[in-house]
Every structure is written in C-alpha cells, then in structure tokens.
Structure 1
Amino acid sequence: MKKIWVVLSSLLVLACAVSAFAGDGSFKRVKSQGALTIGLDDAFPPMGYRNDKGQLVGFDIDAAEEVGKRLGIKINWQPTAWDGVIHALDSKKFDCIWNGMTITEERKKEVAFTKPYKMDGQVAVVRFADKKHKKLADLKGAKVGVQKGSSAVEAVKKLPAAPAEVREYEDNPKALLDLESDRLDTVIIDDATGRDFIAKRPGKFRILPGNITKEPFGVAFRKEDVELREAVQKTLDKMVKDGTMAKISKKWFGEDITNPKKWK
C-alpha cells in the first residue's frame, strides 16, 4: 500500500509540474490581446531598421510578420535602447526581443531563447582607404568603436592584440560616422550589419579578413513565457521546412543563411 501511495504521489507531482509547464497562459494572453509586441533596435540593418520612408524593414521584420500572420496575431514593434533591452523585456514593455540577438551563456541566465535561426559573427570594419590595418592583429593600440550593450563589447576582448581605447555608442550608425570622420580606427560590428553598411556606401568601408567570433541569433522571451516561446518556435520550424525562411533570407542576404548545415 505504501509503495502504491509513493507511486501515486510521484505521478501527482509530475502531473502538476507538466501542467504548470504547459499552462502558463502566455500564448493565450497574446492571442486574447490580438498582438505580439516585439522589442528591437530599429537601427540594425539588415535585421531591422527604418527605410527612407521611415518604415520598419529587414530580415527579422519579415520573419516576425510571417509568424504573426500564421498565428493569427498582429505584430507591434517597440523600438528601445539596446543596452537596456533585457530589462525592458523583464519590465513587460514587450513580449519578446527579435532583432538579431546573439545567444550567449550570460544572456541565457536571464531570458529563454528559441533555437538559433541564423549564425552571425563579429567583424572589424575599417575605412576603405586605410592602409595601416590589414588584419585583425594590426588593431593593436587602435581606437575601437562598439554599440553599447551589444556582443561587440565582449568581442573586443577576443582581438589578437589589445586596443588602446574602446568607445561605446548608442547605435552602429553613430560609431561608423566617427570611423568615417577618422575619430576611430575601426568599428566592431555584426557581420550582416557591417556588410549591409558597406553595400550601401561603396568605397567607404571594408571588413578585415576573418571573424572575431561566431554567434547564433535567437528570439528571446521571459523565462516564464514557455507557451509563447513554443508557439513561435513551432511556427519558425514550419517556415524553415516549407522554405519560407530561405526565401526571406535570399531577399536580404542573396543566399539562404537559415540552413544549420551551412553553419558548421
């Protein structure tokens, strides 16, 4: 009888745990509101930024809008300062962060990520006419610019040689403006963003050979919002399987960078 009671008690505890895991109500809450509010830095091309008409465009914008369409909910975008984006998520100013956010062990202590949907990395951008800096090791003693709160801050520490100075900026465009004006020697930036800036301003900048880091991008949620994260993840999985993510990728990058087999 005692054994039976122990088994029943264990099953009851397990059932309660499963119920708590599967019934947090986060997806139901968003569905009832009719909208998923997403936090982003709206100056992060080509992931999410404003075009000449002031409209939000980019890879992440297209992907999230398609997820919203499939889930039957509207997407509301909430621009925010990147260095306080996790605090803003915790404060419930939005439901998730979807803006080329690098998955790191430190961030995983604070938020719950989806599986990676893109592999990126930090690179060093220099002026096109700069003949002094030809490789990453040449940045010894350089003046480096980074976006405040971004993974570029940590990437600087992985350079082959220590820079003389690291300046933090509110966003990448401001840092690149200082680089162009010769107030910086380099800007450490996401590969995708750096290449986008270079493509739009030919003859101004170039990227030094080699990636400083290898970084997976994911969508971040509050840890308690399990149902919501799983709903988005399942939709993303279907979009990868039916080729929708590849199509969006080719639009913004000219190739499919959403295939995990190409990340190795």
Structure 2
Amino acid sequence: MKKKNYLVLTIATLLAIISIAGCGRKKTDIDQWSRINSEKRVIVGLDDSFVPMGFQNKSGEIIGFDIDLARAVFDLYDIKVDFQSIDWSMKENELQNQTIDLIWNGYSKSPEREEKVLFSDEYMKNEQVVVSLKKNNINNFSDMKGKVLGAQNGSSGYTSFEAQPEILKNFVKDQTAILYDGFNEAFMDLKSGRIDGLLIDRVYANYYLSHEDNLADYSIISGGFDSEAFAVGLRKSDKILADKINHAFEQLRESGKLAAISKEWFGEDVTK
C-alpha cells in the first residue's frame, strides 16, 4: 500500500513539474527583449520556400531578402539570428507558444492579423496577383470563371480571397481554391495543368518567373485586392523588441544598407 501511494505521489510530482515548466515556456505577457539581448540569440520563423524573401537554395542554406534584413537588424545589437522553418498556417500559434520569437518572411500586415500580433513598422509594399500560363487566356480575374485556382494555406492572399469573394472567389470553380503548403508545388501543378491560376504575392511571382527559362509563357494578372505591406510579426507583449527593430530599420535606411539589400535581391530599392 505504501509503495502504491509513493508511486502515485511521484507521478503527481512529475506532472506538476512538467506543468510548471510548460507554463513557463508559454508565458507571453512579458516583453522578451531582455532575454533575447542576454542570450544574444533570436529565433525567426519562416516558410523556407518563399522566394525571394526567405528560402532554401540548392545547398539547403536559407537565404533571401528578409534573411539579410533580419541579420542586418540584429547585427546592430550583436545578436545572432536563427531561422526556423515552420508550418506557415500555424505561424501565430508558434509565436504565442514561444517556439519562435518573430514571424519574418514576407508577412503581410492586415486587420485580422493585428488582432493576434504586434507589427513592426512596414518596410515593403506588396500585392496579390494571379499567375497563369498565357495559353489559358486569363487576362483579368473574371476570366477565372469556372477555372481551378491554387493558393497558399495561411497566406494573406487566401485570407483576402475568402474575405472579399466578389473579387475572385465567386468566379473560380466551386468557389474554392486548392491549398498548398508552399508555392513550389503550386507552380508544378500550374505547369502541369492541374490548376489554371495561382494566387500569389507579386514579389514572389516576379522573382520566381524572372528565373524561369520560359518566362514568356506566363501572365501576371492584377485584380482588385488592396495593396499590402510587409512587416515583422511579434507577440503583443514585445513592445521593446518592436521598438528595437523599428529603430534598426531607421538606421539601416539612413546608412543606405536597406536600399543595398533591396537592390541585391530586386535590382532596385523596393522598400518603404
């Protein structure tokens, strides 16, 4: 009997310890700047297939505009940036659970997202477009009537697609879209004819298609979605961290470093 009671007490103690540790990891009401500055390490969550913002090259190295920008920002504070690939549809959960410290990967600012996260200052403009093969004869969104559309799961484009059905959703087949975790697979399906159009960020479309040998085979169609702005996503409690990022943006803009990073990836300064 004593042995049984001891076992029950031991299990209860272990569960209590695990519970306390778990609560500590998921505490989100304290600004994390002091911890990050002390550890000299910050974790950025990203979709590692979003060219040219943050993606894996053929060697498996994560590179991109946002990668260079994040490193430039935290170099000013002598802080190392670790990049962690995440399920983009779960990005806000990963942030709140402290698996990552920042969402920084062509992350569009929107009213819906502002309810969940704190945003840094905006640093680049973007818009949602539809990419299609020219042979499909799609020249505007209404030409997608009865056609199959693809989109990225959890993307701002898909959010706009659902929130403003009159712009595109009401035209496409079954008023829905085939959802992809990343755009690489989506482009393969576009090439093979499984989908007729792909809803995508213009910055991704421009970069991806500029590196295709058959660029002339594609069309990029603008529609009625509002323009977007890229910003860094933080926990609502991380106001000091946001101030540090915003201050770094100002320094990089004044020094010309921000423009230099942009020109390296886009051939021009596309930053705000």
**TM-score of the superposition, structure 2-length normalised?**
0.82
Gaps of 5+ in 2: 1-29
Shift of 1:227: 1.0
Which of residues 125, 142, 146 in structure 2 aligns to 1:141? Answer: 146
1:242 aligned to 2:255?
A: yes
1:233 Cα deviation from its structure 2 partner: 1.1
Contact 2:150 2:178 in 1 (8 A): yes
Give the counterpart of 1:183 among 175, 191, 194. 194
User: 1:63, 1:248 within 8 Å by CA — same for their partners in 2?
Assistant: yes
1:212 pairs with 2:225: yes
1:163 counterpart (163, 172, 189): 172
140 and 96 in structure 1: CA distance in 2 versus 1, 3 angstrom threshold: same
Q: What secondary structure sits across from 1:208 in the alignment? A: strand
State how far apart, in whole Å, the 2-side matches of 1:141 and 1:154 are. Answer: 20
Q: Using the alignment, how far apart are the partners of 2:169 and 2:31 within structure 1?
A: 48
Residue equivalent to 2:73: 67
Correspondence for 1:154: 159
Q: Which runs of 5+ in 1 are unaligned?
A: 1-23, 260-264
- CA contact 1:112–1:222 (8 Å) conserved in 2: yes
Preserved contact between residue 159 and residue 212 of structure 1 (Cα < 8 Å): no
Instruction: Tell me how far 1:33 sits from its aligned partner.
Output: 1.1
Q: Which of structure 1's runs of 4+ aligned residues deviate more than 4 A?
A: none
Helix, strand or coil at the partner of 2:195: coil
What value does the CA root-mean-square deviation take over the aligned residues? 1.5
AA partner of residue 159 (structure 1)? L
Is 1:51–2:57 an aligned residue pair?
yes
Q: Is the contact made by 1:139 and 1:161 (CA closer than 8 Å) also made in structure 2?
A: no
What displacement does 1:209 show?
A: 4.5
2:230 aligned with 1:230: no
Counterpart selection for 1:124 from 111, 130, 134? 130
Counterparts of 1:98 and 1:174 in 2: how far apart (Å)?
22
Q: How many residues align?
A: 235
Q: Deviations over 1:31-58 (max 9, x none)?
A: 1111011100000000000111111111
Give the superposition deviation at 1:25: 4.8
What is the rounded CA distance, in whole Å, between the counterparts of 2:222 and 2:104 in structure 1?
Answer: 28
TM-score normalized by the length of structure 1: 0.85
Hey, what's the Cα distance between the residues in 2 that align with 1:82 and 1:205?
A: 26
Q: CA deviation at 1:161?
A: 5.0
Partners of 1:223 and 1:257 lie apart in 2 by 28
- Distance in 2 (alpha carbons) for counterparts of 1:61 and 1:104: 22
Aligned-residue offset at 1:241: 1.8
- For 2:57 and 2:258, locate their aligned partners in 1 and report how far apart those are by CA, in whole Å: 22
What is the CA distance between 1:212 and its match in structure 2? 3.5
